[in-house]
């Protein structure tokens, strides 16, 4: 309990700067964004109230509806990504020779930054790049093409990079959840004469289902915030613009800050929904603490 004036001063002085930082760089901006999203603010002159015009454009103009369609690709690739991470976590969980080597290599892509990953995959998807070379090498040369310039394939192609880049994060989450399962459960199963497959099917998988669910929602909120790969690789060209690239272009190149604010709020709402669902279920589904 606070006893003296001295303690109150200590509490105040320890909190004041971080709280001000929080208000100035998180809360004030998000609240002002709500206000700006109903205006035609251009970053310089006084904003005029335009009602829901910005939102109306976002929901009716095909150019902007496409932004969210592009995000769908990133959500779709999250499915193989999660399965891949899940399978690896199951296999790495255990004691075997070389475990640290595998744990090390598997996490590397997650540690590389967007510019590095983009360069790697420009080389990968180029006409004479890695993917086409591999296709030709394995007799599938007929499928080889300009992946980044085919307007129908460019979005799924660059979205699939997320599998390579982010599965490591999902893997770590699954793996640490598996490690947290009490060993007594496995011992009990072992006494009852269960097989490895039964152990995975009836103990491991049910125990980390809630982590799977968290990962799904994490992927949804990540998909809506995609920026780096399409921006660095293609600068949003060939129809690869995502909501965050559009926010950046509208706000900082076209001076349509009001419109960018509306788009920001839309992204914000989607993230809030995804994170809220995750938090609610996280509390209900946690089996072990």
For residue 49, the cross-strand partners are: 39
Residue ranges in 75-134 that form contacts with other proteins under rule CB under 8 A: 84, 87-88, 91-92, 94-96, 98, 100, 102-109, 111-116, 118-121, 123-124, 126, 128-130, 133-134
> In this structure, are residues 234 and 158 in contact, taking their beta carbons and an 8 Å threshold?
yes
Q: CA–CA separation, 251 vs 234, rounded Å?
A: 19
Report, in Å, the least distance between residue 187 CB and other proteins: 8
Residue 146 found at the interface with other proteins (CB under 8 A): no
Distance in angstroms (rounded) separating the CA atoms of residues 167 and 169: 5
Site string for other proteins, 151-180 (x = CB under 8 A): -------------x----x--xx-xx----
Minimum distance from CB of 76 to other proteins (Å)? Answer: 19
Which residues are CB-contacts of 257 (< 8 A; sequence separation ≥ 6)?
Answer: 36, 41, 42, 43, 250, 251
Which is nearer to other proteins, 62 or 245 (by Cβ)? 245
Supply 260's token pair.
């960018």
Of the residues 48, 63, 146, 195, which one makes contact with other proteins according to CB under 8 A:
195
User: Interface residues for other proteins in 221-250 (CB under 8 A)?
Assistant: 221, 225, 227-228, 232, 244, 247-248
Instruction: Supply the minimum distance, in Å, between the C-beta of residue 270 and other proteins.
Output: 10
State the binding string over 11-30 for other proteins (x if CB under 8 A, else -): x--xx-xxx-xxxxxxxxxx
- Asked if 245 contacts 63 with a C-beta cutoff of 8 angstroms, the reply is no
Total interface residues for other proteins by CB under 8 A: 98
Residue 40 phi, psi dihedral angles, 5° rounding? -105, 30
Residue closer to other proteins, measured from CB, 15 or 79: 15
From the list 279, 276, 274, 278, the residue with the least C-alpha distance to 71 is 274
């Amino acid at each position: 309990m606070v006893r003296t004036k001295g303690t109150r001063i200590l509490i105040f002085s320890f909190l004041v700067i971080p709280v001000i930082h929080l208000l100035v760089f998180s809360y004030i901006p998000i609240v002002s964004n709500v206000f700006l999203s109903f205006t035609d603010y251009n970053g310089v002159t006084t904003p005029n109230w335009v009602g829901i015009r910005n939102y109306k454009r976002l929901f009716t103009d095909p150019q902007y509806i496409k932004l969210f369609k592009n995000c769908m690709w990133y959500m779709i690739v999250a499915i193989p990504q999660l399965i891949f991470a899940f399978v690896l976590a199951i296999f790495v969980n255990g004691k075997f020779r070389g475990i640290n080597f595998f744990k090390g290599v598997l996490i590397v892509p997650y540690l590389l930054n967007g510019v590095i990953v983009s360069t790697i995959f420009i080389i990968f998807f180029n006409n004479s790049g890695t993917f086409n070379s591999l296709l030709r090498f394995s007799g599938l040369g007929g499928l080889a093409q300009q992946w980044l310039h085919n307007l129908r394939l460019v979005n799924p192609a660059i979205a699939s990079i997320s599998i390579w880049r982010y599965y490591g994060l999902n893997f770590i989450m699954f793996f640490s959840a598996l490690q947290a399962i009490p060993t007594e459960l496995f011992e009990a199963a072992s006494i009852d004469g269960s097989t490895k497959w039964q152990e995975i099917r009836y103990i491991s998988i049910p125990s980390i289902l809630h982590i799977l669910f968290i990962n799904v929602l994490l992927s949804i909120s990540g998909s809506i915030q995609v920026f780096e790969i399409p921006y660095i690789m293609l600068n949003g060209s060939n129809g690869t613009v995502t909501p965050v690239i559009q926010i950046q272009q509208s706000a900082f190149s076209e001076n349509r800050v009001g419109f960018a604010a509306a788009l920001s709020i839309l992204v914000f709402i989607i993230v809030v929904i995804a994170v809220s669902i995750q938090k609610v279920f996280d509390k209900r589904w946690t089996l072990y603490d």
